[in-house]
A and B are shown apart, each in its own frame.
Chain A
Amino acid sequence: MTKYVIKRLLLIIPIVLGVAIIVFSIINLIPGDPGRRMLGPMATQEQVELLNDQLGYHLPFFQRLGNYLKDLVQLRFGNSYKDGTPVIHTIMSNFPYTLKLAILQTVLYSVIGISLGVLSAVKQYSALDNIVRVISISFSAFPSFWVYMVALLVFSLYLGWLPSSGAESWKSYVLPVGCAGILSASSLQRLTRTTMLESIRQDFVRTARAKGCAEGTVIWKHAFLNAMLPVLNQIGISFGMLLGGTVIAESVFGMPGLGTVIITAVNSKDVPMVMAATVFLAAIFCFLVVMLDVITALVDPRAKAKLTR
């Protein structure tokens, strides 16, 4: 098992390098040169050319890519085209905000989604199931940015209960976490309901009943634990994606975070910043995937047998 985990962790490296190659190639297609971008329209062409030379922009594409990858494996992410500071500093100082937001959102929607999912599966076709189902379908039709805006309008601008920007107090987190938590719960509720329904129909659940287990034990110990593996996986993957997807919440609620950094970097074509952010998030995502597989293997001997085979 340890050997397997180490192998998987080492496999992250080629994937992250692959990500770097792909994104570097796409960015290369963005028109314009970095020198002009950094110095602005007022600079002379000579100054621009000089800077482009310093940045190695005139080298052939593959050589530039090679140089970037060489720096990358030494964990040198470069300096921002915009303000010249090391990009990794900017990323590291903004990441905690994003992480906090993502964790809070994930916890909230997992709790809501899983509990409602189990409830509607156990009480399939009851009034409760139907209500939850319609609400859940409706909620997944709400664009998050619009819900954020309406919530901001009501609770900050009209009622004045909560701040309309910043991330200083817990109050700043109420709206982004609350809205996203409720909206994202809908898809998890449906997944939980489906896996739970499949699990409840399994033969081993009938075995548990046949040996005299109480209904609660049957549902939670046998059906639920078996149904949770795909749900847990979904939560983990979504969490990884969320770390790069808090952009909208940060933008609407005026919060600092990695999303804001990324969107500014993409808009200003700050190549080192975009590259570093992408590589950083991809590495975290890959790490999460490995962790999920490990957790799954620890819980489910079938997964363990498949992995370590």
Chain B
Amino acid sequence: MKKQTEFSDLKRGRGKEIWRLFRRNKPAMIGLVLFLIIVLIAIFADVIIDEEQCYAFSGAPLESPSAAHLFGTDNLGRDLFARLVHGSRYSLSIGIFATILSLAVGAFIGAACGYFGGWLDNIVMRFFDVIASIPGMLLIMVLVMALGQGMQNLIYALMISGVPGYARFVRSTVLNLTDMEYVQCAKSYGTGSFRIILRHVLPNAIGPIIIMLAGSVSGTILAAASYSFMGFGIQQPTPEWGAIISNSRQFMRLAPAYAIIPGMFIVLTAMSINLIGDGLRDALDPRLKD
């Protein structure tokens, strides 16, 4: 009993230490604040501006930014501000869900392969070798065509293309860790394999995974926007950022704001996550400090 309280104390102490290191990192804190603002915009999008405004033809086409239309209007006279505010929901949820799904599936497969090894490991890894040889964009485009366009299917396609990476990463982490003496030690006094993975292997793999996660969320947001831009993701009239930019292409010369402003939203979102990820890397991995 006493052992356990000590253990959790230690964990709390580590959390505090990470937070202390993170807080000292100014760019990371800026990123965190920025990210929270974007999340709040996504959550309270309906409070900020009515969703109907995304689809209503409320102004003249390609209006410049003004008091009535903060960021101007698109080619159909729809309010760009409303579309971008509501679009944050799509980008954030795609980035987060696709990453979490890939991580969950990839981590499960990778942990199983790394821990059990043998034929299971062999077959799954060869399969992933094959998947990894397919150019990523092509795989996703073909998957989207097969599954049909739309947000949900884009998430699935992104997930499928992300799984091999996570699985390999978790597998190699597990392989490294199962060689560690404390895991050998837990084995030697008869702890079950599932328990070992849960209690000893995963907690120690969590640091690198969190770091990888942050990079992956922003990468996925950028990727999702790119696919929508290329017409393989979310389609008009849904106010997804990449799709909005795609639509703005033809009018770039007439209405540069229409092309530039949505990009800023993507940049700020991805940058805030990158800054957080970088701060976490420093806080979780003091090895590279010195």
Contact = CB atoms under 8 A, between A and B. Distances in A.
Q: Is any CB of A less than 8 Å from a CB of B in the complex?
A: yes
Given A26-B143, A263-B230, A266-B142, A143 B27 contact: no
A134 interface: yes
A243 B256 CA distance: 31
Interface residues of B, number: 49
A145 B267 contact: no
Interface string A268-286: 0100001001100110011
B142 A27 contact: yes
A278 B138 contact: yes
B264 to A, nearest CB: 9
Contacts of B147: 29
Contacts of A144: 222, 226
Interface string B244-255: 010001001100
B106 interface: no
Interface of B: 27, 126-127, 129-131, 133-139, 141-143, 145-147, 218, 222, 225-226, 229-232, 242, 245, 249, 252-253, 256, 259-260, 262-263, 266-271, 273-275, 278, 288, 290
B135 A282 contact: yes
A262 B141 contact: yes
A277 B218 CA distance: 29
Nearest to A140: B274
Do most interface residues of chain B lie in helix, strand or loop, or is the interface mixed?
A: helix
Interface string A4-22: 0000000000011011001
Interface residues of A, number: 54
Contact of B230 (A27, A201, A248, A278): A248
Interface of A: 15-16, 18-19, 22-23, 26-30, 124, 133-134, 137-138, 140-146, 149-150, 152-153, 157, 194, 197-198, 201, 240-241, 243-245, 247-248, 251-252, 262-263, 266-267, 269, 274, 277-278, 281-282, 285-286, 289
B129 A15 contact: yes
24 contacts: A15-B133, A22-B131, A23-B134, A26-B142, A138-B267, A141-B222, A141-B270, A143-B226, A144-B222, A145-B242, A149-B245, A149-B259, A153-B259, A157-B252, A201-B290, A241-B136, A244-B135, A244-B137, A263-B141, A266-B141, A266-B142, A266-B232, A269-B145, A278-B138
A198 B269 CA distance: 31
